[in-house]
Structure 1
Amino acid sequence: MHTDLVAALDIGGTKIAGALVDHQGRILARTQRPTPAQENGETVMGAVEAVLAELTASELWPRAGAVGIGSAGPVDRSAGTVSPVNVPGWRAFPLVERVRSATGGLPVELVGDGVAITAAEHWQGAARGHDNALCMVVSTGVGGGLILNGELHPGPTGNSGHIGHISVDLDGDPCPCGARGCVERIASGPNIARRALADGWRPGPDGDTTAAAVATAARAGDPVAAASFARAAQALAAGIAATATLVEVDIAVIGGGVAKAGDVLFDPLRRALRDYATLSFVQRLTVVPASTGTDAGLVGAAAAALRGGSTVDEARRQAV
């Protein structure tokens, strides 16, 4: 039978999602399980295998020719292993080998979740038509990936473009990664909320202290809440400008929960970018919200599987 589909896995600290995806990026079958993130490694793998078992039971499964995995990181694409920060039971866990064995020996492509979302945005979303792009996820953490010369650029280990751990404040707070003043330490959702609370912001009667609640307060004119988002925007602008200066991307696409703050984030971000992206060759840099939505991880994992060492477009041509 013609293998015109790929299997996709999107593995995070909250859920493990799986899908069968066609070469146009359409999801034809899907399933998911909660991630038993605090359990041992085999229990977590059991949840992955349960997702794969549902996919392999589908009548569409014989049409699947490869598996793509987008996983919380760090990942090591060259070794086929994952060590997600928020899944302590997996340290150098041989995920590629285990998935290959659970799927009857199909080829498996592993990338970090930021790289997967980059692949999705370039294939189906806001970075479509751009040969050089940075795509970011700003959520509980800050991740990212790069499109260079029209191709996904995962790097040797699958972590290239991990903008969350560029240092933008030399004397800043220590980051859990071991460095100081990282973009993530300032601009992630929990850190936006932490700064707002430390500076005197108080939640409403519902007691909600998330970044979404800070965004609501900022929108209503709370100066402390707005200042916390402005600081996050400044950190993001510094990281984006540094990346654009280094590799000449012309668009930065931002998704994840924090991007849902809309103008509360994007207005100060675009203003700050003018202060950091100052050289002539980065002045045309634009920043836009992501557009692939909650399925970005699955679509991007599928794109990575289709890519299999080539671009999505080449893979699609070969499959026809």
Structure 2
Amino acid sequence: MHTDLVAALDIGGTKIAGALVAGDGGLLARAQRPTPARAEGGAVMAAVGEVLDELAASPEWPRAGAVGIGSAGPVDAKAGTVSPVNIPGWRDYPLVSGVREHVGGLPVTLVGDGVAMTAAEHWQGAARGRAGALCMVVSTGVGGGLVLGGRLHPGPTGNAGHIGHISVDLDGDPCPCGGRGCVERIASGPNIARRALEAGWRPAADGDTSAAAVAAAARDGDPVAAASFGRAARALAAGIAATATLVEIEIAVIGGGVANAGDVLFAPLREALDEFATLSFVRGLEVAPAQMGTDAGLVGAAAACWEQLGAGA
């Protein structure tokens, strides 16, 4: 099936964004609602419905032949359900059937938000034209997705490439996922800040204790702040090297709020990668910042949808 327009949804714990995405990646219409994250499941679905209704009011809507959804996870594309950690009212929630019903039976594709970001970066961003890539979102959590053999590789449930829950420290802190020493437990924004505070870093007069504030302090030469980013970089490098060793990727693309730290993150990351990626076939691995910005989820949900429909984006 070929369609030149896809309705895309990007669902997270803070907002539900929607857009009509054209075949060149342009966004023809947008809609957004805050996520009623503490409400029961039906109320969250009602907010999704409002976003879809607003898109349906666009004169371009009749051209939309399918819906692509990138959602906070875990997702189960096989079952069409989602259980986002930060939306407690949705546990094994039948999102795909709910959306399909709302849009009159159009085909619906569901992937995790890390896979959606990967689809966007491979279509139009830093991984464009690459046969093998790992793309990561490093923010409140750490997610990711894979491109293998030149195609998006979401896996049967839409979660493949979830690098945040690879263990890189066997004796590390317990992770809420049930594992220990996970990449996310060391490298996510809140964990970078937590570690810096525990090690004695103190915020500036404004009291800002975010990872961005830690990055600013590191840039100004604070050794404790720099050490927390250094440890996060090592965790990311270990996860990237393990992935590259398993599936042979050419590039690792890193986006999300923590990537905005720039060289505070990327310099120690490249250094650590040299240390971990020692085998000949992983040694030349490139690391690059993501290019798609805040629209990556929407553009990627559409790209994943086209790939699934076999139309090619």
Using the size of structure 1 for normalisation, the TM-score is: 0.96
Are 2:264 and 1:264 aligned? yes
Residue of structure 2 in register with 1:159 after alignment:
159
Measured after TM superposition, the shift of residue 3 of structure 1 is 4.3
1:23-34 counterparts in 2 under 5 A? 23-34=23-34
Report SS of the residue matched to 1:308: helix
C-alpha separation in 2, matches of 1:222 and 1:167: 28
Measured after TM superposition, the shift of residue 4 of structure 1 is 2.0
1:253-292 counterparts in 2 under 5 A? 253-292=253-292
Calculate the aligned-residue CA RMSD, in Å: 0.8
Measured after TM superposition, the shift of residue 315 of structure 1 is 2.5
Letter in 2 for 1:106: L
C-alpha separation in 2, matches of 1:287 and 1:121: 13
Q: Percent identity?
A: 78
Measured after TM superposition, the shift of residue 306 of structure 1 is 1.0
Are 2:5 and 1:5 aligned? yes
Number of aligned pairs?
312
Measured after TM superposition, the shift of residue 309 of structure 1 is 4.8
Measured after TM superposition, the shift of residue 193 of structure 1 is 0.1
Residue of structure 2 in register with 1:302 after alignment:
302
Residue of structure 1 in register with 2:241 after alignment:
241
Residue of structure 2 in register with 1:195 after alignment:
195
Residue of structure 2 in register with 1:35 after alignment:
35
Residue of structure 2 in register with 1:315 after alignment:
312
Report SS of the residue matched to 2:117: helix
C-alpha separation in 2, matches of 1:235 and 1:250: 19
Are 2:116 and 1:119 aligned? no
C-alpha separation in 1, matches of 2:221 and 2:109: 46
Measured after TM superposition, the shift of residue 58 of structure 1 is 1.1
Q: Do 1:17 and 1:32's aligned partners in 2 also have CA atoms closer than 8 Å? A: yes
Unaligned runs of 5+ in 1: none
C-alpha separation in 2, matches of 1:159 and 1:210: 28
Letter in 2 for 1:315: G
Report SS of the residue matched to 1:234: helix
C-alpha separation in 2, matches of 1:87 and 1:272: 35
Using the size of structure 2 for normalisation, the TM-score is: 0.99
Q: Do 1:3 and 1:62's aligned partners in 2 also have CA atoms closer than 8 Å? A: no
C-alpha separation in 2, matches of 1:242 and 1:4: 38
C-alpha separation in 2, matches of 1:27 and 1:53: 16
C-alpha separation in 2, matches of 1:173 and 1:258: 20
Identify if the C-alpha distance between structure 1 residues 92 and 245 changes in structure 2 by more than 3 Å, giving closer, same or farther.
same
Report SS of the residue matched to 2:288: strand
Report SS of the residue matched to 1:73: coil
Measured after TM superposition, the shift of residue 305 of structure 1 is 1.3
1:5-154 counterparts in 2 under 5 A? 5-154=5-154
Letter in 2 for 1:20: L
